[in-house]
Amino acid sequence: MALAAAVWLGGLAGCGRQESTDGAPGADAAGGKLSVVFMTRAAEGGGWPDNHPVIKALSQKFNLDLEMQWVPGANYDEKLAVLVATGNLPDVYFVNSEDFAKWQGSGLFLDVKPFLADEPNLTEYIPEENWKLGNPASKLYGIPHYVPEVRNSLAIRKDWLDKLGLPMPDTIDELYETAKRFVHDDPDGNGENDTVGLLMNIFPGGGFGGIDFLRGAFGLANGWQDAGGKLVPMYTQTAELKALTAYLRKADAEGVLDPDFSVQDWRDPLRKFEAGKSGIAYVNPNNLYVKTIPGLRKIAPDADVVQLTPPIGPAGKRTTITSMSANKLVINSRIDPQKQKRILDLLNYVLSDEGYDLIRNGVEGIHYKKTADGRYVKLPAFDEDRANLFSSWVFRRFDPLVAFQSWDDPQYVSKVMNWVNHLEPYRWPDASAGLQSPTEARMGTTLRQRWTQTLVEVIEGKKPLDAVDQAVAEWKAGGGDKITSEYNADYRNR
């Protein structure tokens, strides 16, 4: 990868000094303390206080007054849009793929391409294909943000299967019957009709969550797919949409589909699984053995959770959630060049061996210690400080092991990676990842919401199955045909 990066970046003029491979700061950091504002998304529990040991370590190493602004993920995009409108942007910040495509020609983002020859870790630990994703051919306006392509996996309660005398389901019809039995045959043995079958949610911006395996099994694209060199959106796959919608419509009518599907948020299905109310759900293998199963066993001590291979459907496919993220970390183009370079030095450093140790494990002597034989031992402050938030939420190597710490039991790591590796044959990429469509940026969400609402009404029996034709026609006429044309034009030029 390093050799490929060197060839790819060949001929680029270096800016400033030459870095050591560990990313340690040189003369630039001695030029005076700089204040840097770093804005990113925060999830459950919020971010670090300003005096966090990892922030202090990075600030000291790079002679910075580093301020981390942690914005709740649900509000992040809205806040960023306000900051763009007012011109009051932070020095470095996270941008989702849609906003990156919309704003990259506005002069807001620094082109980092001329700097990369001096920041070798950024090209050694971020693959070339991810650098290209979403960036124009001659510029690199954003630094790729790593999201594992294959992450979440279907899980099933084997103890429920055993209690009801059911085999492991292999097809979507077998899964349907399993879910039906989970609803009606009291698998938790509490004598109450309080369990659910198939889980699903609707995203605020439109689209269905929790049923990716069904969408793929019926032959739908994961957003967009290449059909003979031309991109085709799932929004117009009428026959496949009708087949999927009929399946879900029947499930809703027979009580197999979670009755809350249209009003719950994206995490509610997992909450129901963790609460022992459902037996089939998507789980994150990284959280499975540390959160999901321990939480479930507080309620059901004998719960046995096993991996479920994506069931096969009429299209002959098994698919799992696959995302090649075009989200980016961007540097404000309008700040002082010395500050821009210092930020790049910091990002280059945290991908080095020493820096990666810091952002995953925390500060030695506070969050962990090393024994005489070189082993890592976690200290209580690691959990108290949540010392790995930088690598979890902010920036990291393209590394499937990023969620693990150096002291983790190799057997535990192996168990988690077995779940991840089992899904590799069922990858289901979106062919439009990183492509640009001005119409999609302007009105794609509204079109997707209307399209989704019509399908929800069909699933709930409020509209006939033929209303799927209406949803497709309205998406196309409302701007979808224009989006298709623009995506295909960009696809041909990549």
The answer to whether residues 35 and 184 belong to one domain is no
Closest Cα partner for 329 from 119, 478, 134, 483? Answer: 134
- Residue 428 CB contacts under 8 Å (≥ 6 apart), including other chains: 212, 216, 222, 319, 320, 321, 322
pLDDT at position 22 is 55
> Which of 403, 418, 442 is the last residue in one of the domains?
403
In the predicted model, residues of the chain with pLDDT beneath 70 are 1-30
Answer yes or no: is 421 within a domain.
Answer: no
Answer yes or no: is 282 within a domain.
Answer: yes
The answer to whether residues 230 and 294 belong to one domain is yes
pLDDT at position 142 is 94
pLDDT at position 115 is 97
pLDDT at position 24 is 52
Q: Which residue has the tokens 């090393």?
A: 370
Residue 203 tokens, joined: 């995203």
DSSP-derived 3-state class of residue 324: coil
Answer yes or no: is 423 within a domain.
Answer: no
Domain that holds residue 242: 153-321+428-493
The answer to whether residues 276 and 158 belong to one domain is yes
The answer to whether residues 122 and 14 belong to one domain is yes
Segment 317-367, tens digit of pLDDT? 999 877 777 899 999 999 999 999 999 999 999 999 999 999 999 999 999
The answer to whether residues 100 and 157 belong to one domain is no
Q: What is the pTM of this model?
A: 0.80
Answer yes or no: is 418 within a domain.
Answer: no
pLDDT at position 309 is 97
pLDDT at position 63 is 97
> Structural domain tally of the chain?
2
**Cβ neighbours around 113 below 10 Å, total:** 15
pLDDT at position 21 is 44
The answer to whether residues 312 and 350 belong to one domain is no
**Cβ neighbours around 296 below 10 Å, total:** 18
The answer to whether residues 184 and 132 belong to one domain is no
pLDDT at position 149 is 76
The answer to whether residues 170 and 228 belong to one domain is yes
The answer to whether residues 297 and 346 belong to one domain is no
